Amino acid sequence: MASDRTASWAGEETQLLPPGHRVGDWIVTEPIGSGGWATVYAARAADGPGEGSTGGAAEGPAEAALKVLPTAGLGPHQARKVAEAARREVALARTAPHPRLVRLLDTLVLAAPGLPALDGAIVLVMERARCSLRELLHTGIDAARGARIVTGICEGLAHLHGSGWVHTDLKPENVLVGDDGEVRLSDFGFAIELTGTHGYAAPMGTLDYLPPERWKEPLGEHGVRIRPTADIWALGIVIHEVFAAGASPFPGATPTQRGAAVQEYAEGRAALRMDHALPEFWRALAADCLAPGHTARAPHTADSLLARIRTEQPAAPPRRRRGTRAALLTLVGCLLAGGGGALWWYAADASGTHGPGRGAPAAGPAGIRVFNAERGCQGRTDREPQCSLGLAVDPRRAYTAENVVPTRVWHGDVLDAECRLARGKPIIDEEDLTSTVWYRVRLPGPDRAATAWLPAVRTKDRPDLPPCP
């Protein structure tokens, strides 16, 4: 893609920023995806500040997502819509920031005279997520992780609604998972600010997540009426998808057919039939979110739903092992392992210190055995690529595919560990606890001097080793 200037997104030709293009304090690395109005790029921080930027990337994160909204070639009406969408995102980020909303880092205007379709585009610089909920649905989510995801979505919606905003386009693509494993709601270009109990917006949205009343809402001078219950309906669809492997509760091969099924249900001509995979608590919660009309749905606010979740789904206490601090089950960022799409979970000691009474660290390398929590990989001897695990190049950088050495390891491999780094890049567990421990290990193979880094979550051994410099 480095030499191509156009690519097809959603059936349209879109001019792309090439890798290496500088945008303010950021260097474009690759496109992530595109919608009707914007293309999103991954970017890394440049060495120094760039012209036109107000953010100062040198003091912020090393990575960002650049949401580029072109305005060149648009008619006045379309250009106003794009500018208004950007204004809403900026206004919401500045007036209602919250840990469950994606963070806006900077805004600027793109200077790209060599790319006329992009020159003058509005750029929103946002924190980079590791994956979307849609990507997680493709790999599978267990019940415990699903509960945490839905809780995070409810927290974000409760804050939005309490601040006087309605998202209006809640769907798995707009629910992101950050570097820290936390949920963040994103894409507020369609968000509307309430005036009293409702607001108005253009008759737009994603068909699969529109409440029944939106199909018949009259179009007035200011658009169609929007209320927080629209987000609650969409939440019900998302809850069903989380616990039913991405399946909608309404049958149909296309969004239009599923929309017809929604209308049949809303008119009382069809029952709500949810997947049997949904646990009883989440089935009841989703059913309340999917009450067929605004009036029936109104009592089920994001705040009340969140209170029910916190009452019925209390946080599990940290596990204990051998008298140390918490033993963690860690979700290692949404990585593709050995070309597969599975999420990997590992047990790890998060103490960050040597246990009491363990004596002086070993003088030389200590053998540690690689652990893969994926049970289907533990008994294999064929070194299946999808069961392989990665070793990091730099334990102080994000544990992503770009930060993994070519040499792979498998469950049961024994590696020589030289030292222990107690304060590396944090890895977040299911309970949002953090492990920062890494081991510097010698790579298997003829070049025994080559080293890489194994996170403590990928071994159950806890050797006494000197601290790494």
- CB of 41 closer than 8 Å to CB of 32: yes
Amino acid 3 reads S
Instruction: State the average pLDDT over residues 33-62.
Output: 66
What count of Cα atoms within 13 Å lies in the side-chain half-sphere of residue 244? 20
Q: Which is nearest to 459 in space by CA: 442, 438, 445, 431?
A: 438
pLDDT by residue (tens digit) across 166-218?
Answer: 999 999 999 998 767 789 999 888 888 877 666 656 666 788 999 998 877 66
Q: How far out from the chain centre does Cα 242 lie?
A: 14
* Residue 430 banded pLDDT, cuts 50, 70, 90: very low
Q: What CA–CA distance (Å, rounded) separates 309 from 154? A: 9
Q: What CA–CA distance (Å, rounded) separates 68 from 81? A: 14
- One fold for 6-127 and 131-312: no
SS3 412: coil
- For domain 131-312, which architecture applies? Orthogonal Bundle (1.10)
DSSP 219: -
Q: Which is nearest to 331 in space by CA: 153, 182, 172?
A: 182
The pLDDT of residue 262 is above 90: yes
Class of residue 154 by CB neighbours under 10 A (exposed 0-12, middle 13-18, buried 19+): buried
Q: Which is nearest to 427 in space by CA: 467, 405, 388, 398?
A: 398
The whole-number pLDDT of residue 445 equals: 74
Q: What CA–CA distance (Å, rounded) separates 443 from 407? A: 7
Kind plus residue range of the DSSP H or E element containing 270? none
pLDDT higher at 447 or 14: 447
- For 23-27, 181-185, 326-330, 370-374, which range has the lowest pLDDT when averaged over its residues? 326-330
Token pair for 13 = 């030709």
Q: What CA–CA distance (Å, rounded) separates 119 from 112? A: 5
The whole-number pLDDT of residue 22 equals: 92
Q: Per-domain residue ranges for the chain?
A: 6-127, 131-312, 319-458
- Mean per-residue pLDDT of the chain: 78
Q: Which is nearest to 456 in space by CA: 363, 317, 324?
A: 324
Q: What CA–CA distance (Å, rounded) separates 53 from 104? A: 13
The whole-number pLDDT of residue 74 equals: 74
For tokens 């509307």, the residue is: 192
Q: What CA–CA distance (Å, rounded) separates 293 from 305? A: 17
Q: What CA–CA distance (Å, rounded) separates 126 from 407? A: 33
Instruction: State the average pLDDT over residues 213-235.
Output: 79
DSSP 202: -
Q: What CA–CA distance (Å, rounded) separates 324 from 332? A: 22
Q: What CA–CA distance (Å, rounded) separates 31 from 40? A: 6
The whole-number pLDDT of residue 4 equals: 32
Q: What is the DSSP string of 148-197?
A: HHHHHHHHHHHHHHHTTEE-S--SGGGEEEETTS-EEE---TT-EE-BTT
Q: What CA–CA distance (Å, rounded) separates 209 from 233? A: 7
* Residue 364 banded pLDDT, cuts 50, 70, 90: low
Q: Which is nearest to 308 in space by CA: 232, 226, 395?
A: 232
The pLDDT of residue 11 is above 90: no
- CB of 102 closer than 8 Å to CB of 185: yes
| Helix ranges restricted to H, 67-142 | 76-95, 133-139
Q: What does DSSP say about strands 345-349 and 326-331: parallel, antiparallel, or unpaired?
A: antiparallel
Give the percent of the chain with pLDDT over 70: 75
Range among 87-91, 403-407, 444-448, 451-455 with highest mean pLDDT value: 451-455
pLDDT by residue (tens digit) across 378-402?
Answer: 878 888 877 888 899 998 887 777 7
The whole-number pLDDT of residue 36 equals: 66
Q: What CA–CA distance (Å, rounded) separates 422 from 406? A: 24
**What are phi and psi for residue 195, nearest 5 degrees?**
-120, 95
- CB of 443 closer than 8 Å to CB of 391: yes
Token pair for 70 = 């072109």
DSSP 327: E
The pLDDT of residue 468 is above 50: yes
pLDDT higher at 36 or 295: 295
- Tell me which CATH homologous superfamily contains domain 6-127: Phosphorylase Kinase; domain 1 (3.30.200.20)
DSSP 317: P
